A and B are shown apart, each in its own frame.
Chain A
Amino acid sequence: MRSWIERQKNVIEFTLSSLLRRKGKNAALIFVYTVVVFMLASVVFFTHSIKKEASMILKDAPEMVIQRMVAGRHELIPVSYADKIKTIRGVSSVKGRFWGYYYDPIVGANYTLMVPEDDQLTPGTIAIGEGISRTRLAFEGDTIEFRAYDGAIIHLEIKKMLSSKSELVSSDLVLISEGDFRKLFGTSRGYATDLTLKVKNTRELPTIAVKIAELLPDTRQIMRDEILRTYDAVFNWRGGIMIVILLGAMLAFIIFAWDKASGLSSEERREIGILKAIGWETSDVILMKFWEGMVISLSSFLSGVLLAYVHVFLASSVLFEPVLKGWAILYPKFRIIPFVDASQIAALFFLTVIPYTVATIIPSWRAATVDPDTVMRG
Chain B
Amino acid sequence: MIELINVRKVFSQGKPNEFVAVHGVSLSIDSNKVTVLKGPSGSGKTTLLSLIGCMARPTSGRIKLLDREITSLPERFLTEIRRKTFGFIFQQFNLIKGITALENVMLPAYPLGEGYASLKTRAMHLLDLFNISQKAHSKVEWLSGGEAQRITMVRALINNPSVIIADEPTAHLDTKLSREFMEIVERLKDDKKSVLIASHDPIVYESGGVDRVVNVRDGRIVES
Docked pose: A378 CA to B98 CA in angstroms: 18
Q: Which among B91, B97, B109, B114 is the interface contact of A378 at CB below 8 angstroms?
A: B91
Q: Which among B84, B111, B116 is the interface contact of A284 at CB below 8 angstroms?
A: B111
How many chain B residues touch A (CB < 8 A): the figure is: 38
Docked pose: A279 CA to B107 CA in angstroms: 9
Cβ proximity bits B47-91 to A, threshold 8 Å, 1 near / 0 not: 001100001110000000000000000011001001110001011
Docked pose: A62 CA to B46 CA in angstroms: 85
Whether A17 pairs with B46 at a CB distance below 8 angstroms is: no
Chain-B contact segment, one of A171-179, A200-208, A340-348, A368-376 = A368-376
Whether A377 pairs with B46 at a CB distance below 8 angstroms is: yes
A276 to B, closest residue via Cβ: B79
Chain-B contact segment, one of A6-14, A51-59, A100-108, A358-366 = A6-14
Q: Which among A22, A280, A375 is the interface contact of B94 at CB below 8 angstroms?
A: A375
A4 proximity list for chain B (CB < 8 A): 113
Does any Cβ of A come within 8 Å of B99's Cβ? yes
A375 to B, closest residue via Cβ: B94
A5 proximity list for chain B (CB < 8 A): 113
B107 proximity list for chain A (CB < 8 A): 14, 275, 278, 280
Docked pose: A11 CA to B106 CA in angstroms: 11
Does any Cβ of B come within 8 Å of A156's Cβ? no
Whether B119 pairs with A281 at a CB distance below 8 angstroms is: no
Whether A277 pairs with B55 at a CB distance below 8 angstroms is: yes
Docked pose: A282 CA to B76 CA in angstroms: 8
Cβ proximity bits A10-25 to B, threshold 8 Å, 1 near / 0 not: 1101100110111000
B57 proximity list for chain A (CB < 8 A): 371
Q: Which among A9, A278, A372 is the interface contact of B155 at CB below 8 angstroms?
A: A278
Contact-residue bracket for chain A: 20 to 34
Whether A371 touches B155, Cβ cut-off 8 Å, given contacts A278-B83, A279-B108, is no
Q: Which among B83, B90, B98, B167 is the interface contact of A279 at CB below 8 angstroms?
A: B83
Does any Cβ of A come within 8 Å of B96's Cβ? yes
Whether B55 pairs with A14 at a CB distance below 8 angstroms is: no
Whether B111 pairs with A279 at a CB distance below 8 angstroms is: yes
B83 to A, closest residue via Cβ: A279
Whether A378 touches B92, Cβ cut-off 8 Å, given contacts A10-B116, A21-B99, A281-B79, is yes
Whether A281 pairs with B111 at a CB distance below 8 angstroms is: yes
Docked pose: A282 CA to B155 CA in angstroms: 20
Docked pose: A156 CA to B217 CA in angstroms: 107
Does any Cβ of B come within 8 Å of A188's Cβ? no
Whether B94 pairs with A10 at a CB distance below 8 angstroms is: no
Whether A376 pairs with B111 at a CB distance below 8 angstroms is: no
Whether B119 pairs with A371 at a CB distance below 8 angstroms is: no
Whether A14 pairs with B92 at a CB distance below 8 angstroms is: no
Whether A274 touches B96, Cβ cut-off 8 Å, given contacts A11-B110, A284-B111, A377-B46, is yes
For A3, A271, A377, the residue with the greatest tally of chain B CB atoms inside 10 Å of its CB is A377
B88 proximity list for chain A (CB < 8 A): 277-278
Q: Which among A279, A284, A371 is the interface contact of B159 at CB below 8 angstroms?
A: A279
B residues 128-155 touching A (CB-CB < 8 Å) = 155
A274 proximity list for chain B (CB < 8 A): 94-96
Least distance between A42 CB and chain B CB atoms (Å): 36
Whether B46 pairs with A11 at a CB distance below 8 angstroms is: no
B107 to A, closest residue via Cβ: A278
Does any Cβ of A come within 8 Å of B103's Cβ? yes
Whether B46 pairs with A376 at a CB distance below 8 angstroms is: yes
Least distance between A290 CB and chain B CB atoms (Å): 13
Least distance between B142 CB and chain A CB atoms (Å): 14
Whether A376 pairs with B90 at a CB distance below 8 angstroms is: yes
Whether A10 touches B99, Cβ cut-off 8 Å, given contacts A277-B90, A375-B94, is no
Whether A10 pairs with B56 at a CB distance below 8 angstroms is: no
Binding site for B on A (CB under 8 A): 2-7, 9-11, 13-14, 17-18, 20-22, 271, 274-282, 284, 371-373, 375-378
| Given A6-B115, A280-B79, A281-B111, 14 other A-B residues pairs in contact with their CB atoms under 8 A | A2-B113, A3-B114, A7-B110, A10-B106, A10-B113, A17-B98, A18-B99, A271-B96, A278-B107, A278-B108, A278-B155, A282-B79, A375-B90, A378-B91
In the assembled complex, 25 residue pairs joining A and B whose CB atoms fall closer than 8 Å, in A order, are A2-B113, A6-B114, A7-B111, A7-B113, A10-B113, A14-B103, A17-B98, A17-B99, A18-B98, A21-B97, A21-B99, A274-B94, A274-B95, A278-B88, A279-B108, A279-B111, A280-B110, A281-B76, A281-B111, A282-B79, A371-B57, A372-B55, A373-B50, A373-B56, A378-B91
